[in-house]
């Protein structure tokens, strides 16, 4: 407390690090030669410092020798500073910080922190301490607070004692070493976060750790303050050497600026220059007190021992030597109590008095000299004595707080009066104040600039994003246009397909008409056939009756004949006609009759067979009739189906026409929209070009546009989706139609098969009929032969009768001649002859009847032949019709298959187009403008996920239902 203001020089120590591994690997030479503990020789040249530390110095040794003492100074109310100066990788950070949490390797700062608290704990109980720390770095002459990242460009101000300080810098109150270490850790991590290349950054920036200690004695009320700056300077090498790639020239200049101004300040101080350029850089400004001011300063000169860094090491050592000459005036930072202030004032007053006395003495002496008098030595002003008096007074002013402000030293040869000095001092103070204000202003402006820059970046980003949006919208628009084109083409295709369908429908209706006509013809034919069948039936009935009749007659005839013959035999036997000639005749007659009977038998058999055949043919024809009836029913059904089909086709045609009309309208509206959108876009681009400054407005406008676009797009998309739905419906309908047609075709096929079978049956019948005809012809021929034989027999019978009559006549004549008694016998003979004659008449009648029957049968034969021919022709016609129907069915099937394929082909690209549109990627993190894609994608997903299923389900069900209805 009683220390007077003391002048001290800056303490400079030198520390050499060991050769590092890469230097060892390179085989670099270890150049320093140490002499004692305060001298080092480089290339034979000696450099003297307060201490020189060799490479094997440990952290604790270095701390104890250099920094420990400063703790006591700071806690005693003095300011202190420790600088680390040297080229990059010379061990500055190693010296200042070391490994912060390693008890062996930790550097000066953590050790000081620990010591300060330990020391405080050992001090007087009445002392109360307030410790606060600040941590900041200076990069490109900008002060950045490491405890608050938001403070990036702090300014330097002067306090009421004209001591510079960093204004607005975070001051953190701490109460234990851990809190200080936490602050350091925090600051270091902040520093790491903010930069990309930490090594490069730390080698180009100064980091300053400030510990501010205030103490108050609760008993005496004495207040002391001490500030300790711990400075890890930027690499002392020129930026050019390590290579400032990526830094522009101005930046390189700024990097070097603070260090070179430090050099200038030190040079000025070393040379004792009247003007020290502290204000050249923020760093020298902050450390103004540490360099030639009220501060105990230690500078650690860190050096590399490698021959490779020889030049840099030497310049570093030179710098240290220069700094060694700087003198600081150290005073105690004490806040005086009122009593102390009073005493001080009194002493100052006394001092003032002595000084005034001196001045009057000197003035008197001067006047004597001027008037030409020579003043004797004893009368002359005693400089030494006056000085001693003043110093004695000064020494009593032990609490002189205010450091002697750097005197406004006047240039040599120019003497200023006290008033002038004061005036200029005030002026200068004012000017400095203004300068600081300007600095502040500059700081504010630069912060404003930063914020504006940020805003600009934001705006640019916004602009970029809106541009991107615009691009996206453009692509979307293009896509929509393309889609529109595609849908137009699709519509065209659909229209074409519809036209084709219409044509097809026409063809189908034509076919239906043809079929109906055919059906009518067939039904007519069927009617004819049934009528002919009925006629044939009746004929058959007639024939049956006839054959029955004939059979009856024949049996009757046969029985009568047999009776006759028996009677004849009886008559012949009873009459005893034993005449040789006549008996031979009767034998002949018998044989003839037997022959006749056998022939008759065969004829009867043939007749029976024929009747059977006729019966079978009747059964067949009845079967045929049934089949024809069935066919009729089938045809009727087909006609009804065709009618229903025609109805449904006309309905579908109508709906398709309506749809076509709608689509055309839609296309027109889309075209209009496109035109509108294009116009809007043009306007937008114009606006964008013109109004970059009013980006917000543009953004709003863009957003509005985007919204409107989105709405339009949504509308378009929904309409397109409707269209798609309609088309899908149409497709399903068409498919149903096709299925129906296929079913029809199959049915036709079955019918065809049936007809084929019928045809075969008919051909078989034809064959049978031809066989029947052959047989009939044969029977005819047989009958002819029979007739002939019957005729011949009749002739022979006639002859026999004639002979018999002649014989009888001759016999009667002979008998009359020879024997008149035989009159009674002749009467019996006459009776017999009568009987025979009647028999003969009957036989002739039967013969005649047979002839007539034969003629009748012969007349019937051509009729039957004709009928047969007609049925054969009909069968042929039916066959031809069947073939035609088959061919038609084949053509139909082919056409429908083609149509189906075409429809499928038409449907395929539609689906693919939709898939392509689905396949569009989604981009995250975009502005609302980009959302249309999202929504479209979502929508398309929806379409994929929900709608088709719904549509398919509903539509197909409905269609199925329709199909069922039609088929029913």
92 annotated binding-site participant: yes
Q: Contact letters (x/-) for Mg ion, 177-206, by CB under 5 A?
A: -------------------------x----
Q: Contact letters (x/-) for Mg ion, 45-84, by CB under 5 A?
A: ----------------------------------------
Q: Kindly state the smallest distance separating residue 392's Cβ from ligand ADP, in Å.
A: 48
Determine, following the binding rule CB under 6 A, whether residue 90 of this chain makes contact with ligand ADP. yes
Interface with Mg ion (CB under 5 A), residue from 20, 54, 68, 93: 93
The candidate with the shortest Cα–Cα distance to 537, out of 633, 624, 629, 606, is: 624
Interface with ligand ADP (CB under 6 A), residue from 32, 77, 80, 86: 86
91 annotated binding-site participant: yes
Determine, following the binding rule CB under 5 A, whether residue 242 of this chain makes contact with Mg ion. no
925 burial level (CB within 10 Å; 0-12, 13-18, 19+): exposed
86 annotated binding-site participant: yes
Q: Return the number of the residue (42 or 105) whose C-beta is nearest ligand ADP.
A: 105
> Could you give the CA distance from residue 749 to residue 742 in angstroms, rounded to a whole number?
10
Determine the residue with CB nearest Mg ion: 93
Interface with ligand ADP (CB under 6 A), residue from 10, 31, 74, 94: 94
Strand partners, 351: none
Q: Kindly state the smallest distance separating residue 314's Cβ from Mg ion, in Å.
A: 21
- 3-state SS class at 751: helix
Listed in sequence order, the residues at least 6 apart from 388 whose beta carbon sits closer than 8 Å to its beta carbon are none
Q: Return the number of the residue (203 or 309) whose C-beta is nearest ligand ADP.
A: 203
Contacts made by residues 200-203, CB under 8 angstroms, sequence distance 24+: 201/139, 202/93, 203/88, 203/89, 203/234, 203/235, 203/242
Quote the Cα angle for 215-217-223, to 5°: 50
Selected range binding ligand ADP among 15-23, 124-132, 474-482, 674-682, rule: CB under 6 A: 15-23
Binding partner of 88, given Mg ion, ligand ADP, none, CB within 5-8 angstroms per partner class? ligand ADP
The upper half-sphere exposure of residue 744, i.e. CA atoms within 13 Å in the direction of its Cβ, equals 28
136 burial level (CB within 10 Å; 0-12, 13-18, 19+): buried
Q: Return the number of the residue (276 or 302) whose C-beta is nearest ligand ADP.
A: 302
The candidate with the shortest Cα–Cα distance to 208, out of 182, 228, 193, 190, is: 228
Selected range binding ligand ADP among 88-96, 306-314, 478-486, 633-641, rule: CB under 6 A: 88-96
> Could you give the CA distance from residue 677 to residue 683 in angstroms, rounded to a whole number?
10
Binding partner of 225, given ligand ADP, Mg ion, none, CB within 5-8 angstroms per partner class? none
CB of 251 closer than 8 Å to CB of 201? no
Q: Which residues ranging from 282 to 321 are in contact with ligand ADP (CB under 6 A)? A: 302
Determine the residue with CB nearest ligand ADP: 91
Selected range binding ligand ADP among 83-91, 360-368, 455-463, 797-805, rule: CB under 6 A: 83-91
132 annotated binding-site participant: no
CB of 358 closer than 8 Å to CB of 386? yes
Selected range binding Mg ion among 92-100, 486-494, 532-540, 870-878, rule: CB under 5 A: 92-100
Beta strand ranges found along 437-510 (DSSP E): none
The upper half-sphere exposure of residue 895, i.e. CA atoms within 13 Å in the direction of its Cβ, equals 16
Determine, following the binding rule CB under 6 A, whether residue 93 of this chain makes contact with ligand ADP. yes
Between helices 931-945 and 418-575, what is the axis angle to 10°?
20
Listed in sequence order, the residues at least 6 apart from 101 whose beta carbon sits closer than 8 Å to its beta carbon are 110, 181
Strand bridging mode 223-232 / 206-217: antiparallel
Phi, psi at residue 729, to the nearest 5°?
Answer: -55, -50
Q: What is the DSSP-derived secondary structure letter of residue 104?
A: T
Q: Return the number of the residue (233 or 800) whose C-beta is nearest Mg ion.
A: 233
Q: Kindly state the smallest distance separating residue 21's Cβ from ligand ADP, in Å.
A: 9
Selected range binding ligand ADP among 72-80, 91-99, 340-348, 886-894, rule: CB under 6 A: 91-99
Determine, following the binding rule CB under 6 A, whether residue 659 of this chain makes contact with ligand ADP. no
409 annotated binding-site participant: no
Selected range binding ligand ADP among 92-100, 290-298, 448-456, 749-757, rule: CB under 6 A: 92-100
Quote the Cα angle for 315-318-324, to 5°: 145
Binding partner of 917, given Mg ion, ligand ADP, none, CB within 5-8 angstroms per partner class? none
667 burial level (CB within 10 Å; 0-12, 13-18, 19+): middle
Q: Return the number of the residue (203 or 871) whose C-beta is nearest ligand ADP.
A: 203
908 burial level (CB within 10 Å; 0-12, 13-18, 19+): exposed
Binding partner of 302, given Mg ion, ligand ADP, none, CB within 5-8 angstroms per partner class? ligand ADP
Selected range binding ligand ADP among 16-24, 71-79, 221-229, 498-506, rule: CB under 6 A: 16-24
Count other C-beta atoms under 10 Å from residue 506's C-beta: 12
Q: Return the number of the residue (94 or 729) whose C-beta is nearest ligand ADP.
A: 94
Between helices 931-945 and 823-918, what is the axis angle to 10°?
160
Q: Kindly state the smallest distance separating residue 54's Cβ from ligand ADP, in Å.
A: 9
685 annotated binding-site participant: no
Binding residues for ligand ADP, rule CB under 6 A, total 13
Binding partner of 18, given ligand ADP, Mg ion, none, CB within 5-8 angstroms per partner class? ligand ADP
- 3-state SS class at 232: strand
> Could you give the CA distance from residue 720 to residue 722 in angstroms, rounded to a whole number?
5
> Measuring CA to CA, how many Å separate 119 from each of 193, 216, 596?
35, 15, 173
Q: Return the number of the residue (99 or 830) whose C-beta is nearest Mg ion.
A: 99
Q: Return the number of the residue (88 or 225) whose C-beta is nearest ligand ADP.
A: 88
> Could you give the CA distance from residue 446 to residue 546 in angstroms, rounded to a whole number?
139
Binding partner of 618, given ligand ADP, Mg ion, none, CB within 5-8 angstroms per partner class? none
Determine, following the binding rule CB under 6 A, whether residue 88 of this chain makes contact with ligand ADP. yes
Q: Contact letters (x/-) for ligand ADP, 665-704, by CB under 6 A?
A: ----------------------------------------
CB of 126 closer than 8 Å to CB of 219? yes
> Could you give the CA distance from residue 576 to residue 590 in angstroms, rounded to a whole number?
17
Strand partners, 131: 174, 213
Q: Return the number of the residue (233 or 800) whose C-beta is nearest ligand ADP.
A: 233
Q: Return the number of the residue (88 or 398) whose C-beta is nearest ligand ADP.
A: 88
Q: Contact letters (x/-) for ligand ADP, 879-898, by CB under 6 A?
A: --------------------
* Residues making up the binding site: 86-93
Which residues lie near ligand ADP (CB under 6 A)?
17-18, 20, 86, 88-94, 203, 302
Which residues lie near Mg ion (CB under 5 A)?
92-93, 202
* Residues making up the binding site for ATP: 86-93
């Amino acid at each position: 407390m009683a220390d007077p203001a003391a002048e001290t020089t800056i303490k400079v120590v030198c520390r050499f690090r060991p050769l590092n591994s890469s230097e060892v690997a390179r085989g670099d030479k270890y150049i320093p030669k140490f002499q004692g503990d305060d001298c080092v020789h480089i290339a034979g040249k000696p450099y003297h410092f307060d201490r020189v530390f060799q490479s094997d110095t440990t952290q604790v040794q270095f701390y104890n020798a250099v920094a420990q003492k400063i703790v006591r100074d700071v806690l005693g109310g003095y300011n202190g500073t420790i600088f680390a100066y040297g080229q990059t990788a010379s061990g500055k950070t190693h010296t200042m910080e070391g490994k912060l949490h390693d008890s062996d390797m930790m550097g000066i700062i953590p050790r000081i922190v620990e010591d300060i608290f330990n020391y405080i704990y050992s001090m007087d109980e009445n002392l109360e301490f307030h410790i606060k720390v600040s941590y900041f770095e200076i990069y490109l002459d900008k002060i950045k607070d490491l405890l608050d990242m938001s403070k990036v460009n702090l300014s330097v101000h002067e306090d009421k004692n004209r001591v510079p300080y960093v204004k607005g810098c975070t001051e953190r109150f701490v109460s234990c070493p851990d809190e200080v270490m936490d602050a350091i850790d925090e600051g270091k991590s902040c520093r790491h976060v903010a930069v990309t290349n930490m090594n490069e950054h730390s080698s180009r920036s100064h980091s300053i750790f400030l510990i501010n200690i205030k103490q108050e004695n609760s008993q005496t009320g004495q207040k002391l303050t001490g500030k300790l700056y711990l400075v890890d300077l930027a690499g002392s090498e020129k930026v050019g050497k390590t290579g400032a790639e990526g830094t522009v020239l101005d930046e390189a200049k700024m990097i070097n600026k603070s260090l070179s101004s430090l050099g200038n300040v030190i040079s000025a101080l070393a040379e004792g220059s009247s003007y020290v350029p502290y204000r050249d850089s923020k760093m020298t400004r902050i450390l103004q007190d540490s360099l030639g001011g009220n501060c105990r300063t230690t500078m650690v000169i860190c050096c590399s021992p490698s021959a490779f860094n020889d030049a840099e090491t030497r310049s570093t050592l030179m710098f240290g030597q220069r700094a060694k000459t700087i003198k600081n005036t150290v005073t105690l930072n004490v806040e005086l109590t009122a009593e102390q202030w009073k005493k001080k004032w009194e002493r100052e007053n006394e001092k003032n008095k002595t000084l005034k006395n001196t001045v009057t003495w000197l003035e008197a002496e001067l006047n004597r000299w001027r008037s030409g008098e020579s003043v004797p030595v004893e009368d002359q002003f005693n400089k030494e004595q006056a000085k001693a008096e003043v110093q004695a007074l000064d020494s009593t002013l032990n609490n002189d707080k205010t450091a002697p402000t750097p005197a406004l030293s006047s240039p040599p040869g120019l003497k200023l009066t006290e008033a002038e000095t004061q005036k200029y001092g005030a002026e200068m103070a004012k000017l400095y104040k203004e300068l600081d204000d300007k600095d502040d202003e500059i700081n504010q402006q630069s912060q404003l600039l930063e914020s504006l820059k940020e805003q600009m970046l934001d705006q640019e980003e916004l602009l970029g994003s809106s541009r991107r949006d615009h691009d996206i919208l453009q692509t979307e628009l293009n896509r929509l246009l393309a889609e529109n084109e595609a849908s137009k083409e699709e519509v065209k295709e659909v229209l074409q397909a519809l036209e084709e369908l219409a044509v097809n429908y026409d063809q189908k209706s034509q076919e239906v008409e043809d079929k109906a006509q055919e059906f009518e013809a067939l039904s007519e034919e069927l009617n004819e056939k049934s009528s002919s069948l009925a006629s044939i039936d009746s004929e058959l009935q007639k024939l049956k009756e006839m054959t029955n009749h004939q059979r009856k007659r024949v049996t009757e005839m046969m029985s009568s004949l047999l009776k006759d013959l028996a009677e004849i035999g009886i008559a012949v036997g009873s009459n005893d006609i034993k005449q040789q000639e006549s008996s031979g005749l009767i034998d002949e007659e018998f044989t003839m009759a037997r022959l006749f009977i056998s022939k008759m038998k065969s004829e009867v058999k043939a007749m029976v067979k024929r009747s059977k055949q006729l019966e079978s043919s009747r059964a067949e024809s009845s079967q045929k009739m049934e089949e024809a009836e069935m066919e009729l029913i089938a045809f009727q059904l087909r006609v009804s189906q065709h009618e229903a089909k025609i109805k449904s086709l006309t309905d579908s045609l109508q709906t398709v026409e309506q749809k076509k009309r709608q689509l055309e309208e839609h296309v027109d509206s889309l075209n209009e929209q496109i035109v509108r959108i294009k116009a809007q876009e043009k306007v937008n681009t114009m606006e964008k070009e013109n109004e970059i400054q009013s980006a917000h407005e543009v953004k709003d406008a863009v957003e509005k546009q985007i919204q409107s676009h989105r709405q339009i797009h949504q509308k378009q998309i929904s309409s397109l989706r409707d269209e798609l739905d309609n088309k899908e419906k149409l497709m399903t309908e068409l498919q149903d139609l096709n299925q129906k047609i296929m079913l029809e075709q199959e049915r036709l096929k079955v019918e065809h098969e049936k007809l084929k079978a019928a045809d075969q049956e008919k051909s078989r019948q034809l064959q049978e009929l031809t066989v029947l005809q052959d047989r009939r012809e044969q029977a005819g021929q047989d009958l002819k032969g029979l007739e002939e034989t019957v005729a011949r027999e009749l002739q022979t019978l006639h002859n026999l009768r004639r002979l018999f009559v002649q014989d009888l006549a001759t016999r009667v004549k002979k008998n009359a001649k020879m024997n008149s008694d035989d009159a009674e016998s002749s009467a019996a003979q006459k009776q017999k002859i009568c009987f025979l004659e009647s028999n003969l008449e009957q036989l002739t009648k039967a013969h005649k009847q047979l002839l007539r029957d034969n003629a009748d049968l012969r007349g019937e034969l051509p009729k039957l032949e004709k009928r047969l021919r007609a049925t054969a022709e009909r069968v042929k016609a039916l066959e031809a019709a069947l073939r035609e129907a088959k061919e038609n069915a084949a053509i139909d099937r082919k056409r429908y298959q083609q149509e189906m394929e075409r429809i499928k082909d038409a449907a395929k690209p539609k689906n693919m187009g939709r898939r392509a549109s689905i396949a569009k990627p989604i981009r995250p993190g975009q502005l609302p403008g980009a959302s249309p894609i999202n929504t479209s994608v979502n929508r398309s997903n929806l379409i994929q996920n929900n709608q088709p299923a719904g549509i398919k389900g509903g539509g197909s069900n409905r269609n199925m239902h329709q199909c069922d209805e039609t088929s029913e």
